[in-house]
Amino acid sequence: FVFSVTLGWLPANGMYAAGRFTSLADLLRHLILPAGVVCLSSVGELVKQTRAACLETLGEDYIRTAYAKGLTERAVMVRHAFRGSMIPVLTTILSHIPHILGGSVVVEQIFGWQGMGSLLFSGISGRDYPVVMGVTVVIALTVLLTNLLLDLVYGLVDPRVRYGKG
């Protein structure tokens, strides 16, 4: 309301001005409010999780050892503390991808965007069961691929995570 109606900085709905594609800049301008809503809805949990993981990591023995070796505070934080606390933070970030898809129904309806959320909404309201099942399968596949990606990223971020041969 503030940015679109009161200040007139951003468009309130739609993907393009006058209903047709004019430029990428116009599309990005229309994307700011919906993307902001999706991002801000999960940023609180992400900040809370990052803080808790960093505080837990700072109490570990290897952090005290790094300080005892004479490393600077920046080196300890970047090389040891941040890397050690990435596992729960990555879990939080990647677990929000399916929630973003599920929440897109509301955001697309509010901002007038055409996407999977509005397709699911029209499928449900029109009792078009193949469309509802298709969108549900896409969301389920997204959850599966996100979990696979999460497992692969664990091995890259944390050297303690190793994948054996069975």
Inside any domain, residue 36: yes
Question: Within a domain: residue 20?
Answer: yes
User: In the chain, how many domains are there?
Assistant: 1
Residue 66 domain-assigned (yes or no): yes
Closest CA to 34 of 131, 119, 115: 115
128 inside domain: yes
Q: Is the pLDDT of residue 14 over 90?
A: no
Q: For residue 147, is it within any domain?
A: yes
Digit-coded pLDDT (tens) for 142-151:
889 988 888 8
Q: Is residue 14 part of a domain?
A: yes
Report CA torsion sign: 77, 151, 146, 99.
negative
Please determine, for residue 91, whether its predicted confidence score (pLDDT) is greater than 90.
no
Reported as a single tens digit per residue, the pLDDT across 23-42 is: 788 778 777 888 888 888 78
Domain residues for the domain of 26 are: 2-157
Note whether residue 162 is domain-resident. Answer: no
Characterize 105-138 residue by residue with b for buried, 16 or more Cβ atoms within 10 angstroms of its Cβ, and e for exposed: bebbeebebeebbbbbbebeeeeeeeebeebeee
For residue 85, being part of any structural domain is answered with yes
Q: What is the pTM of this model?
A: 0.67
